[in-house]
Amino acid sequence: MLVIPTAPWAHSLFDILAWASSALTGATLHRWRLKDAAERLARSTGPGYFAALAVGALVGAWAMGSTNSLRMVAPVLSHSVAGALAGAIVAVEVYKRAIGLTGSTGTPFVGPLAIGIVVGRWGCLFAGLPDQTYGVPTSLPWAVDLGDGIGRHPVQVYESLAMLVFLLVYVTALRRRRSWAFRRSFYVLSGWYGAQRFAWEFLKPYPRLIGPLNIFHLLCLGLVVYGCVFYRADLRRERAAARSRTLSVLRRDDEPV
């Protein structure tokens, strides 16, 4: 069992590091590969887009976090990155529907969001038991003691590593100029985040809502469905656009044109 030094202020420290890492990653990816994506976002949306994103993220973060934490043994108000992601998605998709905009606009946010979670989750770990993001007891060799002498699953580390895997795959796809990385990476991020978070929720002592599922299980299922449905819809649009650009030639293929 690994004894982890904890302090409540560690969460704020890693929040700062997460924001700094997100800004640096966003700027680096913008210069390296995503300048066009950022410019398309700026051209196709107005200030209302970013207002909707910010409000949706804030409302989602506190609504989902507090809905869960207020049902725990020590009720407190709290916020959740999963709730922030879901709230931002709902608000932005409503805004896009209102202005008639289709397709993904989230590509510039993928790298910053992924690295923010990678770094920020360590703050949840080092904040200890008061953070209420700890795992259930386990006897595995990598169990962590957060101050109460009980070995627990380091679920924060599991999530950080899972998102690091996504980030490495994403950066590799950008380097190789894969279409999905430029057009549909936000949908992939949403689906991957939802799937890996769904798995770790079974290792947390959160109040159950339906059978063995807590509120974040249901939220993560929604993220997976959103990612899959919107990914397929955008892929169909891309293929339809490609077909419309194909010229019909009324001759045999082996004859010169």
- Distance between CA atoms of residues 68 and 87, nearest Å: 15
Q: What is the DSSP letter of 137?
A: B
Joined together, the tokens standing for residue 138 give: 């386990």
Q: What's the pTM? A: 0.92
3-state helix vs strand vs coil in the chain, percent to 5: 70, 5, 30
Helices and strands, counts by H and E, the chain: 9, 3
Tokens for 36?
């066009």
Can you give the pLDDT at residue 244?
81
Tokens at 98, concatenated: 């209102």
Q: What is the DSSP letter of 129?
A: G
Which residues does residue 242 pair with via DSSP β-bridges, in sequence order?
A: none
> Amino acid identity, residue 211?
G
In the prediction, which pLDDT does 257 show?
A: 45
Q: Which of 115, 88, 120 is nearest to 226 (CA)?
A: 88
What does the pLDDT profile of the chain (257 residues) look like in tens digits?
A: 999 999 999 999 999 999 999 999 999 999 999 999 999 999 999 999 999 999 999 999 999 999 999 988 778 889 999 999 999 999 999 999 999 999 999 999 999 999 999 999 999 999 999 999 999 999 999 999 999 999 999 999 999 999 999 999 999 999 999 999 999 999 999 999 999 999 999 999 999 999 999 999 999 999 999 999 999 999 999 999 888 875 555 445 444 44
> In terms of C-beta density within 10 A (0-12 exposed, 13-18 middle, 19 or more buried), how is residue 48 classed?
exposed
The angle formed by the CA atoms of residues 124, 126 and 131, to the nearest 5 degrees, is 45
Alpha-carbon span 236 to 31, nearest angstrom: 29
d(Cα 89, Cα 83) in Å, to the nearest integer?
A: 10
Q: What is the pLDDT of residue 249?
A: 52
How far apart are alpha carbons 107 and 241 in whole angstroms?
A: 20
Instruction: Return the closest-CA partner of residue 101 out of 162, 185, 45.
Output: 45
Task: Name residues whose C-beta falls within 8 Å of residue 34's C-beta, 6 or more positions apart in sequence.
Answer: 107, 108, 111, 174, 182
Report how far residue 257's alpha carbon sits from residue 250's, in angstroms, rounded to the nearest whole number. 9
Rg, the chain, Cα only? 21
Find all residues with CB under 8 Å of 158, minimum gap 6, and list them: 196, 200, 203
> Both tokens of residue 141?
């060799």
Q: Which helix (H) or strand (E) holds 207?
A: none
